[in-house]
Structure 1
Amino acid sequence: MAPTIRPFHPVDLAGLYRLCLLTGDAGGDASALYRNPDLLGHVYAGPYPVADPGLTFVLADEHGVGGYVVATADSREFLRWLDAHWWPTLRAQYPRVPDPGDGTQDHVLVDRIHDWPTAPEPYYDEFPAHLHIDLAPRLQGQGWGRQLVATLADALRSRGVHGLHLGVSERNTGGIAFYDRLGFETYARHAWGRTLTLRF
């Protein structure tokens, strides 16, 4: 089966979670960082196809999910949706835990789940959409990332949305170079990385 980009189907969810973990350490494998392999997916992949199902696209081949882009067209409304429908269940399921001191990062993500900001950012008006994108190493460097972003941009334009943003770790130099080639611009720099924006 040749790689194909298609709309998300519920059977893809496990593949999204798996790929989110395998690329979750600034583009590298984060499996050693988390005792619970689902936490990254709960935060950065799972809510999107539920909250805004028409804006998740999967790159699939004979090995399964090899790439995806998840997004929301309205980040302001997405924050409200998370607070009302997504975080309450996760907060009940994952109470805060101390740092076990063994290098694992579960406690960091659990704290993030409990402390997720609810205030909209000032750039939401101009760049209301945001995305997360991941590609398996076997499909990197072949133009699939560009095609996933283009597929998403077409879907956003059909809704009258012409700007999006994302966050990227400063350690993810490959990701930063990829976004630069697509025309993203640095909106702000932070201790953890950058906020990038794109008009289309």
Structure 2
Amino acid sequence: MATQIRPFHPADLAGIYRLCLLTGEAGGDASGLYRNPDLLGHLYAGPYPVADPSLTFVVADDEGIAGYVVGTADSLGFARWLDEHWWPTLRAQYPRVPDPGDGSQDHVLIDRMHAWSAAPEPQYDEFPAHLHIDLHPRLQGQGWGRRLIATLADALRERGVAGLHLGVDERNTGAIAFYAKVGFATYARREWGRVLTLPV
């Protein structure tokens, strides 16, 4: 099949989770960091197509899911949805655990899951939507990331959303450069990286 962008289908979820892990360490493979390969997806990919599948799009090729963008039009509403529908089951399944001291980072993600805040962030007023995007190395540098963001932006514009934001690890210099090329600007710097914004 020809490589294409298409709307999310439920069968894509496993491929999205795999790609989330493959690109989860500042753009590199995070497989060696986690005993449980699903945790990153539970936090940064899985809930979006469950909450609002019409704002998830994938790049599919002969090998499967090669890229995706997941998003929400209302970050505060989404955070409240997580508290009501997503986190309770996962928090029960994954109680907090101490650092095992073996270099694995599962405990970090589990702590994040339990501490996730539904409080509004300053950027929500002007840039209420947010996204996560990942692209397999085999398709990077070919314009697919730009097209995924444009596809999501079109969907948000149809809903009357004014702007979107995302967070990026400061170590992921390639992603920061890419986001600058497609029009994102630095809104704020945090201890984990920076918040970027884009008018829709």
Q: Output the TM-score relative to the length of structure 1.
A: 0.99
Q: Which moved more, 1:116-125 or 1:63-72?
A: 116-125
Paired letter, 1:118: A
Q: C-alpha separation between the residues in 2 aligned to 1:50 and 1:118?
A: 18
Are 2:190 and 1:184 equivalent residues in the alignment?
no
Partner in structure 2 of residue 8 of structure 1: 8
Alpha-carbon shift at residue 162 of structure 1 (Å): 2.1
Paired with 2:170 and 2:140, the residues of 1 have a C-alpha distance of 19
Counterpart in the other structure of 1:162:
162
> Percent of counterpart pairs with the same letter?
80
- Cα distance in 1 for residues equivalent to 2:95 and 2:84: 18
Determine if the alignment matches structure 1 residue 46 to structure 2 residue 46: yes
Tell me which residue corresponds to 1:193.
Answer: 193
Q: Name structure 2 gaps, 5 residues minimum.
A: none
Moved runs in structure 1, 4+ residues, more than 3 A?
none
Matched AA of 1:154: D
3-state SS in 1 of match to 2:37: coil
Aligned-partner SS, 1:167: strand
- Aligned counterpart, 1:82: 82
* Corresponding residue of 1:69: 69
1:44 partner letter: Y
Structure 1 counterpart of 2:115: 115
The alpha-carbon deviation at position 125 of structure 1 amounts to: 1.1
The answer as to 2:134 corresponding to 1:134 is yes
Gaps of 5+ in 1: none
DSSP-derived class of the 1:28 partner: coil
Instruction: Quote the residue 1:144 is aligned against.
Output: 144
Query: Post-superposition shift, 1:122?
Result: 1.6
| Offset of residue 123 of structure 1 | 1.2
1:103 aligned partner = 103
Count residues in correspondence. 200
Displacement of 1:195 after TM fit? Answer: 0.3
Letter in 2 for 1:121: E
Provide the C-alpha distance between the structure 2 equivalents of 1:43 and 1:122, rounded to a whole number of angstroms. Answer: 21
| Distance across 2 between alignment mates of 1:127 and 1:80 | 17
- 1:104 corresponds to which letter in structure 2? S
